Structure 1
Amino acid sequence: MKIGYVRVSTQEQSTLRQEVMMQELGVDEIYMDRASGKNTDRPELKRMMEYVRQGDTVIVESISRFARNTRDLLELVERLGEKHVEFVSKKEAIDTTTPTSKFMLTVFGAVAELEREYILQRQREGIALARARGKYRGRKPIECPELERIASRWRAGEISAREAMRRLNMSPSTFYRRVKEI
């Protein structure tokens, strides 16, 4: 079977271009994630990796749609290889049936990882510049009128920290940071 894997980074991005390509290639089944490629913790990727069988071919539009770092890419392709499943990336014209393609896969994987690092670097630089200009202040803190009352009950030992967090609907890190601020 031809198995297609489609990924976009956010809910707002369109998968249409990748889906059309898969249709044109006669893909039998498509797995689609709307999640960052920074790691392999993606539900549809996991489902696809469980589903594929010997003789199948996994097709992606480009390596960056499959993995954003070289280690993850090589591990995923290795797992496919162990199942005797081919991997094809259309953009880079790579399939894993030849030694040359396996080498090129490593090179393109490193390029995809470098691209992700550049994106993150530009993002950090943009935020720093916006902060310096007073345009970026981060996320506004969540208003919590009950915080002082519940925190004082917690400090007095009337309720546990876990109960205070539950009542305030806060994670432990948020709870302790906010309690320290008051």
Structure 2
Amino acid sequence: MYGINGRNGAPTTVCEDVSATAKIGYGRVSTRDQNPDSQRDALTEAGCDKIFIDKASGKLASRPELDKALDYARAGDTFVITRLARAARSLKHLIELAESLRERGIDLLVLKQGIDTSTPTGRLAFHMLGAIDEFQRELIVEGTHEGLASARSRGRTGGRRPTLTATQVRMARQMYDSEEYTVQQIADTFHTSRATIYRALSDEGDFAYVVYRSSKPKVDNDGRSYGETGQGDHSRAQYDSDRMYWPLDDAKRHRAKAMVYVTDGIVTRIRAIDPNGQWTPDQRANGTYWEIPVTAPLTHDEITKQFPTLDLTLGDELPRQRGKQREHLAL
């Protein structure tokens, strides 16, 4: 004999306890050729009763398996992930996800970061994340108002027209989500650059500035060392090399939150960008290149706490695509 009260409307036998709680596991690989086995193994070891895995890249792509996992979960269940970045597109999305789970009576367990919202300590961690999110929004709003006032005082009332229309952005997103086109093919379709497509798909949010290098030290025409100096991550020479000089539009500076240095395909250092630091333009480049106020190299724990949605940490592999020296990674 069957009923109709199972999860998602599935029939249940009379002897089945539909009120029993479950652990729902969710994982995601950040590139289309990564293997999700390590996440699946961790979720299985954690005792997950059902596991959902997405193959999508960070903030840009849709996540059908995440939607299925959240739809499957019921009050009293525990939603299990290995890292915060696996489930959240951004810090804002992370807060919204946690609040939605709380309202539905579902606990959140993050295996690698020791967060369990069934405990007071775990709930406090999310309250702190919410406070950080609110603080960041206030800084952005304040900076925007100051920038607009400054522009108006100089007689400027608007920016340049967007390269892509809203319809073209929607089409580009559909092409990307289909996994049948590369970013270059999408850019060629709309007769624009890859950078424009990346900006359109990332919604122009906060980002980490990723720099690709080789391990061989280099010196410019003025005798300044740049790249990997070979003098140690915490040396003054490496600090100077890491902070100057980088091309970045003035309007984007307030959205740059971290610098990620990739050496020979491996993430070797991650530095935060000091929100109160001084950005100094390179006078030789008419202000288009900047000395960026970066912090000391972050530890694994500091990276996790400061950038919970950054899908990278020290030692991760990040091979450079041919010809690419820098890119913006959405947070």
Normalising by structure 1, what TM-score?
Answer: 0.59
Q: Using the alignment, how far apart are the partners of 2:74 and 2:56 within structure 1?
A: 25
Q: Using the alignment, how far apart are the partners of 2:29 and 2:44 within structure 1?
A: 17
Gaps of 5+ in 2: 1-21, 134-205, 214-246, 248-321, 325-331
Q: Using the alignment, how far apart are the partners of 1:49 and 1:40 within structure 2?
A: 17
Q: Using the alignment, how far apart are the partners of 2:61 and 2:126 within structure 1?
A: 17
Higher helix share: 1
Q: CA deviation at 1:90?
A: 0.7
CA contact (8 A) 1:56 1:85 kept: yes
Instruction: Flag the 1:40–1:88 CA change in 2: closer, same or farther, 3 A.
Output: farther
3-state SS of 1:7 partner: strand
3-state SS of 1:37 partner: coil
Q: Using the alignment, how far apart are the partners of 1:49 and 1:123 within structure 2?
A: 35
Whichever residue aligns with residue 52 of structure 2, its letter is Y
Q: 2:207 aligns with which of 95, 102, 117?
A: 117
Residue in structure 1 matched with residue 58 of structure 2 by the alignment: 37
Q: CA deviation at 1:2?
A: 0.6
CA contact (8 A) 2:32 2:57 kept: no
Q: CA deviation at 1:82?
A: 1.4
3-state SS of 2:207 partner: helix
3-state SS of 1:102 partner: helix
Note the 1:26-175 alignment, pairs <5 A: 26-38=47-59, 41-105=62-126, 117-118=207-208, 121-122=209-210, 136=323
3-state SS of 2:52 partner: strand
The reply on whether 1:4 has 2:25 as its aligned counterpart is yes
State the Cα deviation string for residues 90-146 of structure 1 (Å, max 9, x = none).
1111111234323323657979xxxx822xx11699xx7xxxxxx749xxxxxxxxx
CA contact (8 A) 2:81 2:109 kept: yes
CA contact (8 A) 1:59 1:88 kept: yes
Q: Using the alignment, how far apart are the partners of 1:40 and 1:48 within structure 2?
A: 17
Higher strand share: 2
User: Percent of counterpart pairs with the same letter?
Assistant: 37
Q: Which runs of 4+ in 1 moved over 6 A?
A: 108-111
State the Cα deviation string for residues 46-72 of structure 1 (Å, max 9, x = none).
111111101110110011111142110
State the Cα deviation string for residues 23-82 of structure 1 (Å, max 9, x = none).
111210001101123168310111111111011101100111111421101111111111
3-state SS of 1:5 partner: strand
Instruction: Flag the 1:40–1:76 CA change in 2: closer, same or farther, 3 A.
Output: farther
Q: Which has the higher contact order (CA 8 A, sep 6+)?
A: 1
Instruction: Flag the 1:9–1:84 CA change in 2: closer, same or farther, 3 A.
Output: same
Normalising by structure 2, what TM-score?
Answer: 0.34
Q: CA deviation at 1:9?
A: 1.1
